Structure 1
Amino acid sequence: MKLIVVGSANMDMVMTTERVPEAGETLHGTGFFLSPGGKGANQAVAGAKMGAPTWLLGKVGDDIFGQSISANLARHGVSTDYLTAEPGVSSGVAAITVCGGNNRIILAGGANDKVTPEYVDGFREEILSASAVMLQLEIPLPAVYRAVELAKGRTPVFLNPAPAVPIDDSVLDGVDYFTPNEIEARFYTGIQIRGTEEAFAALDRLRAKGIRFPLITLGDKGVAYFNGSRNVHKMSLPAEVVDTTAAGDTFSGTLAAMIVAGKPMDEAVDIAQRAAAIAVTRPGAQDSIPVLAEVLGENPPRG
């Protein structure tokens, strides 16, 4: 069993505010901290914490942030054998403002922007021998396209389409598991999701593009997904929200780990929802992601 995540790794700079500043306004914030993040790295950590042997394929800068990102991945059980330090380039950075439990994020790609199709090609055999490949859209789109092209029909592909950008339908046809949130689902389907009916219509439209198993996360309204035979809607679990930064990544990474482990879709979604519900009760990204024993109730939640 081997999960390869092809994606981004960032250093998150996080600050909490009581409200969002207006243009030209300065506010006092509280609770500033640095936290390794990036959607690729977060999802890799989620996969590893759920028990899947996980590798992150990507790039960091040859700076102190890159060293910290790599060390933190290893601490959480992610292999960094396929993670390269790019000379003369800064690591990716995310400036995150948390207000009322919700976040606003500005990204600077840094070394993530140096992940090319040629770089992905260098790991062709590793991708073809993997149990699954997981992707996001914080690295250049041509690299994402190349990974899907290599894996299509050979290795199951998980794509979390964030941040949303146009994707050729020919590429979507190579995606097995597609996990947008409701805003991203609207971007790809044109359907404004107000309830279950619209969510199911969006799932059908995504399946018409060739995606085998679309899943749409709906925030506090749960998740809608196609389980292989029918569309399903499940409500979210109650949680005292502190920080939503890694909630979607926790869901996506946990889902991939559970599918790779052989869980049926309905059970995999249940576990992914429980993991995300725990993650939002904690600040930060990777440190907020629970381990499988917590999710299954074998150990009490930490933090």
Structure 2
Amino acid sequence: MRALAAINHIIKIIPSKGHHVLIALILFFYTSSAFAAQPVKLDSLSARQVWFAAQVLPGSGQIINKQYWKVPAFYAGMGSMLYFGLKANENYHNTINEFKKPIYGPEEEYRFKEKWVAYKVERNIFYAGVAAFYVASVADAMIVKTKAKHSPVTATVLSTIAPGMGQVYNQKLWKVPVVFGSMAALYYVIDFNQRGYKRFGDAYKLYPNDEFGGRWGKNELLYLRDAYRRNRDLSIIGMFGIYVLNIIDANVDAHFFDWDISDDLAFKIEPVFNGGFSSFNPYSDPSVGLRFSYKF
């Protein structure tokens, strides 16, 4: 009430020009201060909010879950992997630049190429390590947050950031090699067709001085190049489809994780006999009926 009275007092003493702008500013700062005065309770955050926070700032999920000791562990892992990856990347580019110096001829290419390929592989492995620690921090935050109850949100998030992890969370381990095997096979097909597309594309550009020495005509080279490109694109679509199916499967399995599928889950019809010799009173009138039972 005092704040509203102060606002009214300010409105009265200011000139009429620009009232709407000043009123809007006053209301904005008043409402902002009112919301800022209310502390955010980390325990009340939903799984989706924890997932978003863990993605934007690695380690924030562990802080929300009050497992502070995990934060330096994840950052040490990401930091060390990033450092070694940057060093390997620097060595990779230095080796290429060294080979480009005029003192080295084409005969030295094999020796230098062996080095820069090794540095490139090393760099990619360390960068993959950074991604692995990042994914692990998000997954850990989600699993700890929803440990009291099996969560479809957690399963979906895990399969989104790392295919197969949602299946592990749902305890369907036999599905993991299916997911990885399918994606690995399609990755090989994509790589094979990409190399074929580049090879015949280069031959088409260099025709008739291509690597095949005129064995293929220009139209044939163009046809083969387009065929490899088409197969590559279809394989990419297939790989994306498997990725989406992996997410859907994890979500559906998580919803049915606690579902009772025992033999007792059934709709039963049983005959019922009452009265006569089947009851404690043999002189009562006998009756016959049906009992319907449904357990869920």
Q: TM-score, normalised by structure 1?
A: 0.24
More helix by share: 2
Q: Which has the higher contact order (CA 8 A, sep 6+)?
A: 1
Q: Which has the higher strand share?
A: 1
